[in-house]
Amino acid sequence: MSDIARVGVVGCGLMGSGIAEVFARSGLDVLVSEASGEALELGRTRLGNSLATAVQRGKLTDEQRAETLSRIAFTTDLGDFADRDLVVEAVAEQEEIKNKIFQTLDQVIERRDAILASNTSSIPIVKLAAATSRPEQVIGLHFFNPAPVQRLVEVIPTLTTSAETTARTENFAVQVLGKEPIRARDRAGFVVNALLVPYLLSAVRMFESGVATAADIDKGMEAGCAHPMGPLRLCDLIGLDTILSIADSMYDEYKEQLYAAPPLLSRMVDARLLGRKSGRGFYDYTAS
């Protein structure tokens, strides 16, 4: 059995709220933090809406929804994470911010063998581990959106992660969360994004060069290759800023052209056309 019962999630955006929901639905004591009270309320609303949708779709009962919410507490003070057994960082893909969070968690968490995990898609885990005095307890635990639905998690040990931490993390993912873990080396993109992002960038280049419309590119992969969602709709779902951040990180590490972001992607991010979360990306969501 897992020795992890009290968990924390730093960040309550799209991924953080989803991870918190996964934890709470697994019967864990969950504490969620955000940088401000306003962001925390948005995250609380996002969590509530997701659980309400699960009830509407018959995935949860009203009683289970209420029980899940009762397991989640909220804070703006990382000092409240002192008693946590595992904490997952799920904030924006900015190395400086993540490093500060890991420094703080290292200082406040009392249990010396507590696991400090990151949900980063692109930043080397070992850089975050180096910000702490316990690098052997730091590991990547990468969920996929939407976290309550997607069964996969990537477990990413670093050169300094202990074998015990890796085993405990994988055991927790399987036995407590009911997820299917795969282990990846600590390299930009890990397994899934190293394969997925070049494909998405190729679709952006095709649209940019006028080969086909966004709708036809997506229809081609959905109807022709049985993909559940076309690449440009998937970009909008993930967030164009996230795609750009992952691509830039992978290009910085490998210097291979297939990881280079197309100019159109950069321009859309500059224009804050980020996809679903901003209302517009390759498609317009303002009417839906």
Catalytic member of 121, 245, 249, 278: 121
193 is catalytic: yes
Cβ burial, residue 252 (10 Å; 0-12/13-18/19+): exposed
Mark whether 49 is an active-site residue: no
The yes-or-no answer on residue 145 being catalytic is no
From the candidates 154, 170, 245, 249, give the one annotated as an active-site residue.
154
Burial degree of 223 (CB within 10 A; 0-12, 13-18, 19+): exposed
Please work out, in degrees rounded to the nearest 5, the angle formed at the alpha carbon of residue 127 by the alpha carbons of 124 and 130: 150
Could you confirm whether 142 is annotated as catalytic? yes
Candidates 17, 50, 122, 193; catalytic one: 193
Burial 70-92 (b: 16+ CB within 10 A, else e): ebbebeeebeebeebbbbbbbbe
Angle, helix 14-25 to helix 37-56, in steps of 10 degrees: 60
Residue of 17, 33, 93, 142 marked catalytic: 142
Kindly calculate the radius of gyration of the chain based on its CA atoms and give it in whole angstroms.
19
* Catalytic residue numbers, as ranges: 121, 142, 154, 193
